[in-house]
């Protein structure tokens, strides 16, 4: 993408309304723009990151056997009245009346609807187990929306729902999601710590939240340091196998957020050197709630013996739009964002430092064509702005690799590759630049 | 995808509420399920089609130089009050009050918001031209939602917006979208006829709607038969070139919907044998409205001479969810849907007609693995249902190619490939089946 044809409205000043670094950087780097309290438009660069995160979430959901659907944002109040949550949910639910004065609401979550959809078609144990997920915008009418997309009102969430014949099978489905969540966050460069959690308005008796560590986290986390080092299930994970050992390994070390923390247990179970205390940001949450929704909604299936039993379910959420903020909280420096490669909006920023020099223009145009042909996502700063502006903008938006072409180095026949994360600079002969970038990106050489 | 692990709730009976064939088939084939009047959940099969259509739309938008963003579904009433449309829009606009009694609305379109976003960053002619698009759910509170997703309340739309320095340049942007729309629909197997149209609540003085022909269309179309045969701009189209000749070629032959139709002109311009009268379904609409929104919103930029002028804009819509219905209206028979390959939910339906015969199971498992390895999207009916049920379900859901393995043909060492569109059946040696499918799909042989 050529910057002269793109829409990247970076801000020079720190926006006054942004109190945490991710919010500040998202506004400054032109990722989002607030439209009204807690409601954001995603600008081109932010949209690309959102889509990258979504793609990883989708991929890992499918790997774990979940099936994608898409439920609407607007729901009828009826189902929620049947589950009892219509009144219970309080003012966070955005209530709406249509032109015929029927009660609607903007879905904050979808347990009722998905239970109704699934049970309208599932008849027996033969239709189970299943896990349906969707990635859809939700609305929670927060009293005081803040921290940018971290606590917005309209937010993008992956929510998945499992359906099983009995609680034992339901817990197997729960473990499948538990394991897939570990992998999902790891692929975004995040170490998410699973912690036993309260079930709140979703209900049920089994729940874990997944939090990443970041200075500006909303809660205090106490855990065993081992959790930061434990190895992840690999690509070859078999989700049909017994996942109990993996879940036990990950839930054995002490890990709790402040609301569940017990200092006495922490101190008795974890040696002083192994104690980790840090701020945490919740990025995912899994629940097993059995028949909490299937009973009031009369969502039953028949067992092999011909008995009719309510579905056993869990729900599984990942805050897709929130993750954009959470990742920035975890990866930034004074100059700006430092995107992990897997979710960077572009892999490479190509910077022409001599836009008025024909040899620089020619070299950059050739490199840009080569990078595109190699399928490397490149943002090409082909503007005529001065080098200082260009370089600090590239730092701010945080692409993993910068490829700089300037008149001085070009005379030596080289360009510079800079790694955003380390700041390391390498001079590379112009003819080898694309191959080197390919190698750095861990791809097969072009 | 194995059917024993999928969620494909087909209906045997014709649903009473469905009055047109696409609505009927979408419910019967398990593509969607209505949640409340005019609001649908997309089930796995329907979701896949929706995503395929979305991907083609996105690809052609990007080819034409448009940049993707994502605006929220919920908007503040403020901007709409400034443009004067808040009152004007009437009851089709879903109006909402949040917990602080601020007026919000569920966006039916985004002219105001995108103008505000763009103009907050664009300063001068150097930032132009640009075209921003998004693919987002919209809401129009129809009095009487009907025809399934063809006239729903919550619907998915691609809406794009162009920004230019003057009307001449704005018309160039308009032509770019005009041409890209021809290509977009053609890639879905649709011939869309552009017709001069009224501008309605969007405003402006230049507008075309794109309609496809289908018996159940909502309007009557009168056009020159040539429009059905004219050649499309190819993949090598240069959107920076002068597109006037293409637009002129496509707008010269007579083509009007009933509200604009003039029988006298039709009869004088078009020879009797060239007259085509048919029902049409609108799938896209383009508008050029100049400064209609930029003036009230004070969205100005500076010219090369330093004057401040309002942005010149157009908007460009494609009904993404509506297209699923429109395509079915155009492609079906008595047995069910006939998906064009480019948007089929799966390319191949692999049917085991002898699920109790080990040799059939073994052969199908091997073929399924080969098809997956070749990257061919396959729905594998591995259920133990009887052949009649399996075959009629495959007909109903309309995948382009069926690959059938039965005990009798397997004894001869062959499987059957059936083309959904023609019904043509071919016996192919088992070892060549995947290669043959690859050839049929126009891919390089596996």
**What is the residue-wise DSSP string for A143-167?**
SS-BTGGGB-SEEEEEEEEEEESSH
Predicted confidence (pLDDT) at residue B444 exceeds the cutoff of 70: no
Name which of B67, B130, B143 is nearest A99 (Cβ-Cβ). B143
Mean pLDDT of chain B: 95
DSSP state, residue B34: E
A67, closest residue in chain B (CA to CA): B44
Rg (CA), chain A: 24
pLDDT reported for residue B422: 96
With b for 16 or more beta-carbon neighbours within 10 A and e for fewer, the B273-300 pattern comes to: eeebebbbbbbbbbbbbbbbbbebbebb
Instruction: Supply angle C-alpha A371, A373, A375, rounded to 5.
Output: 75
Are residues A105 and A75 in contact, defined by beta-carbon separation less than 8 angstroms? yes
Q: B124-166: per-residue pLDDT in tens?
A: 999 999 999 999 999 999 999 989 999 999 999 999 999 999 9
Name which of B30, B35, B74 is nearest A154 (Cβ-Cβ). B74
The overall longest dimension of chain B from CA atoms, in Å, is 82
- Compute the nearest-CA separation of A44 from chain B (Å): 5
Contact A6 B104 (CB under 8 A): no
Contact B35 A73 (CB under 8 A): no
Contact A69 B98 (CB under 8 A): no
- Chain A residues whose CB is inside 8 A of the B153 CB are 74, 98
Contact A42 B74 (CB under 8 A): no
Q: B291-315: per-residue pLDDT in tens?
A: 999 999 999 999 999 999 999 999 9
Beta strands A39-42; B332-333: pairing state: unpaired
Q: Which of B5, B98, B115, B382 to mutate to test the interface with A (most CBs of A within 10 A)?
A: B98
Taking the C-alpha atoms of residue A408 and residue A172, their distance in angstroms, rounded to an integer, is 62
A104, closest residue in chain B (CA to CA): B36
Q: B222-231: per-residue pLDDT in tens?
A: 999 999 999 9
Are residues A350 and A367 in contact, defined by beta-carbon separation less than 8 angstroms? yes
* Nearest CA-CA partner of A181 in A324, A315, A22: A315
Contact B67 A113 (CB under 8 A): no
* Nearest CA-CA partner of B210 in B57, B108, B46: B57
Contact B41 A69 (CB under 8 A): yes
Rounded to 5 degrees, what are φ and ψ at B360? -70, -45
Taking the C-alpha atoms of residue B414 and residue B433, their distance in angstroms, rounded to an integer, is 8
DSSP state, residue A406: -
Neighbours of B271 (CB within 10 A): 9
- Chain B residues whose CB is inside 8 A of the A137 CB are 72-73, 137
Taking the C-alpha atoms of residue A379 and residue B128, their distance in angstroms, rounded to an integer, is 18
Please state, in angstroms and as integers, the Cα–Cα distance from residue A327 to each residue in A26, A107, A401, B27, following that order: 11, 26, 18, 41
Rounded to 5 degrees, what are φ and ψ at B326? -60, -40
User: What are the tokens at A181?
Assistant: 């969540």
pLDDT in tens, chain A (446 residues): 999 999 999 998 888 889 899 999 999 999 999 999 999 999 999 999 999 999 999 999 999 999 999 999 999 999 999 999 999 899 999 999 999 999 999 999 999 999 999 999 999 999 999 999 999 999 999 999 989 999 999 999 999 999 999 999 999 999 999 999 999 999 999 999 999 987 777 777 789 999 999 988 889 999 999 999 999 999 999 999 999 999 999 999 999 999 999 999 999 999 999 999 999 999 999 999 999 999 999 999 999 999 999 999 999 999 999 999 999 999 999 999 999 999 999 999 999 999 999 999 999 999 999 999 999 999 999 999 999 999 999 999 999 999 999 999 999 999 999 999 999 999 999 999 999 999 999 875 43
- Chain A residues whose CB is inside 8 A of the B139 CB are 74
B12-16, B30-34, B167-171: range with lowest mean pLDDT: B12-16
The per-type count for chain A, helices as H runs and strands as E runs, is 13, 23
* Nearest CA-CA partner of A282 in A187, A339, A214: A214
pLDDT reported for residue B218: 86
Query: What count of CB pairs under 8 Å joins A to B?
Result: 140
Can you tell me the mean pLDDT for B169-185? 97
A152, closest residue in chain B (CA to CA): B72
Taking the C-alpha atoms of residue B373 and residue B378, their distance in angstroms, rounded to an integer, is 11
User: What are the tokens at B240?
Assistant: 């920076």
- Chain A residues whose CB is inside 8 A of the B73 CB are 73, 137, 154
Please state, in angstroms and as integers, the Cα–Cα distance from residue A198 to each residue in A140, A256, A258, B389, following that order: 19, 11, 12, 46
Paired residues of B159 in beta bridges = B134, B317
């Amino acid at each position: 993408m050529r910057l002269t044809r793109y829409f990247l409205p970076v801000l020079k000043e720190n926006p006054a309304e942004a109190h945490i670094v991710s919010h500040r950087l998202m506004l400054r780097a032109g990722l989002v723009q607030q439209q009204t309290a807690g409601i954001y438009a995603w600008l081109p660069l932010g949209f690309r990151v959102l889509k990258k995160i979504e793609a990883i979430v989708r991929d890992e959901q499918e790997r774990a056997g979940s099936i994608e659907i898409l439920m609407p944002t607007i729901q009828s109040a009826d189902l929620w009245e049947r589950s009892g949550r219509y009144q219970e949910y309080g003012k966070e639910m955005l209530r709406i009346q249509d032109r015929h004065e029927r009660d609607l609401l903007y879905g904050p979550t979808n347990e009722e609807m998905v239970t109704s959809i699934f049970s309208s078609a599932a008849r027996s144990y033969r239709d189970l187990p299943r896990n349906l997920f969707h990635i859809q915008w939700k609305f929670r009418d927060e009293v005081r929306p803040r921290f940018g997309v971290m606590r917005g009102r309209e937010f993008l969430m992956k929510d998945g729902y499992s359906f099983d014949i009995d609680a034992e099978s339901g817990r197997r489905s729960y473990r499948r999601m538990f394991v897939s969540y570990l992998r999902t966050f790891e692929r975004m460069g995040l170490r998410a710590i699973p912690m036993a959690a309260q079930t709140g308005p979703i209900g049920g008796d089994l729940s874990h939240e997944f939090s990443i560590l970041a200075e500006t986290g909303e809660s205090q986390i106490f855990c065993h340091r081992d959790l930061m080092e434990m190895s992840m299930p690999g690509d070859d994970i078999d989700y049909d196998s017994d996942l109990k050992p993996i879940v036990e390994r990950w839930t054995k070390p002490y890990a709790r957020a402040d609301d569940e923390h017990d200092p006495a247990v922490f101190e008795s179970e974890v040696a002083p050197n192994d104690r980790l205390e840090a701020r945490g940001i919740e990025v995912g949450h899994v629940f097993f709630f059995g028949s909490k929704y299937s009973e009031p909604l009369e969502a039953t299936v028949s067992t092999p013996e011909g008995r009719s039993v309510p579905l056993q379910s869990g729900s599984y959420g990942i805050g897709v739009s929130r993750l954009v903020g959470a990742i920035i909280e975890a990866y930034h420096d004074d100059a700006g964002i430092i995107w992990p490669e897997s979710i960077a909006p572009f892999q490479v920023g190509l910077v022409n430092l001599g836009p008025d020099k024909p040899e620089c223009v020619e070299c950059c145009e050739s490199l840009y064509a080569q990078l595109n042909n190699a399928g490397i996502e490149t943002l090409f700063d082909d503007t005529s702005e001065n080098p200082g502006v260009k370089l600090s903008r590239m730092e701010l938006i945080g692409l993993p690799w910068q490829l700089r072409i300037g008149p001085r180095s070009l005379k030596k026949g080289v360009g510079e590759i800079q790694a955003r994360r380390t700041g390391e600079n390498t001079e590379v002969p112009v003819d080898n630049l694309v191959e080197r970038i390919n190698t750095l990106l861990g791809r097969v050489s072009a």
